[in-house]
Amino acid sequence: MAVSKKQLVLDTFDSKTTERVPVGFWFHFAKDEMADGLADPSVIEANIKGHEKFVNSFKPDFVKLMSDGLFNYPNEALKNLNSAKDFANIKPLDPKHEWFRKNVELVKKQISLLPEDVATFYNLFAPSTTIKIAFGFYGADKKFADFIKEDPDAVAAGLNVIADDIAKVARSVIREGGATGIYLSVQSIQDWRIGEDLYKKVIAPAEKKILEVANEESAYNILHVCGFEGSRNKLEWFKDYPAKAVNWAAVVEKVPLAEGEKIFEGKAVIGGFGNTVNDLLYKGTKEEIQAEAKKLIAEAGRTGVILGADCTVPRDISLDRLEWVREAAE
């Protein structure tokens, strides 16, 4: 008797032998995922409607629950970070702040729309990425690196406060919202001045804290090392993060699944395909895409492997292309 899709994915996370290799892809569903859903509820509604359409059309093996509309951490102190010392002004949000409640409500609604019982992982951003979002992303890495060099201890303390609030969301979306786990997005600071020592001292502790809290609620959590718009990461810096599975930008980093298995030893690996309009998944033929899927499996094996993409796939990609990958993974 075939196991459920949920069990298939959890068994894969546990590196057990499975009847087939699972496949997972995800989209941004809001027109502008960065828009403030607290100020404009239509952003969150678009996210929910997009989930409903996708899960009913593609019937995915698992669902990454997107947080479109709730990307922005609504802490006023982040609007006034002009020097490293300003990170001392970051205080925890009021526990009754609507941001906490809205995250849980979103997850509950997304899960209620699933046509079958599948594993679900809610998207959360690491504190350092939260800072970069507050800075507007473009040019944010240099600004952030300047502050870290100015006073690493002050920055680390501020990130720790943010981590506590994000960890509260992680705990509540699993415990109250019903998510299987979280999908924590991290990214190296794109500035040569922030090497491994500084990253591990200033940034990594806050990121690991969130995963540790999530692990108290669920054994099944995903680390995503983000290659957004070609960003590069030192994957080895993340090998000891306490996540059950890891997704990274295999095409951007030029680190295929089989090579990543050696870096993230003992963890399940997710991905393999590029996620942009210039990549094979978007523009290749059925034969090319299925040949690549089979190649990825041949290299990485069938245990502890989930085929997917570097990150979110283009909004206009045909679902047929994603189905071709699943057919090849049978």
Q: What does the mean pLDDT of the chain come to? A: 95
pLDDT tens readout for residues 151-170: 999 999 999 999 999 999 99
Q: Please say whether the beta carbons of 293 and 328 come within 8 A.
A: yes
pLDDT category of residue 1 using cuts at 50, 70 and 90: low
The residue segments making up the domain with residue 166 are: 5-328
pLDDT, mean of residues 217-243: 92
pLDDT tens readout for residues 141-154: 999 999 999 999 99
Q: Please say whether the beta carbons of 322 and 289 come within 8 A.
A: no
Q: Please say whether the beta carbons of 179 and 121 come within 8 A.
A: yes
Question: How many CB atoms neighbour CB 163 within 10 A?
Answer: 23
Angle subtended by helix axes 127-135 and 140-150, to nearest 10: 120
> And the tokens for 224?
């995503």
pLDDT tens readout for residues 41-88: 999 999 999 999 999 999 999 999 999 999 999 999 999 999 999 999
- Alpha-carbon distance values, 140 to 25, 162, 237, 252 (Å): 28, 17, 21, 20
Q: What is the DSSP string of 43-93?
A: HHHHHHHHHHHHHHHH--SEEEE--TT--S---GGGGG--SGGGGGG--PP
- Alpha-carbon distance values, 62 to 65, 114, 227, 278 (Å): 9, 10, 22, 25
Angstrom distance (rounded) from CA 240 to CA 242? 6
DSSP assigned state of 31:
S
Calculate what percentage of the chain has a pLDDT beyond 70. 99
Q: Please say whether the beta carbons of 65 and 104 come within 8 A.
A: no
Q: Which pTM does this prediction carry?
A: 0.97
> And the tokens for 186?
């991290």
pLDDT, mean of residues 178-187: 97
Q: What angle do CA 155, 158, 159 make, to 5 degrees?
A: 85
Give the pLDDT of residue 14.
98
Q: What is the number of structural domains in the chain?
A: 1
Angstrom distance (rounded) from CA 142 to CA 145? 5
The tally of CA atoms less than 13 A away on the side-chain side of residue 23 is: 21
CATH number at residue 79: 3.20.20.210
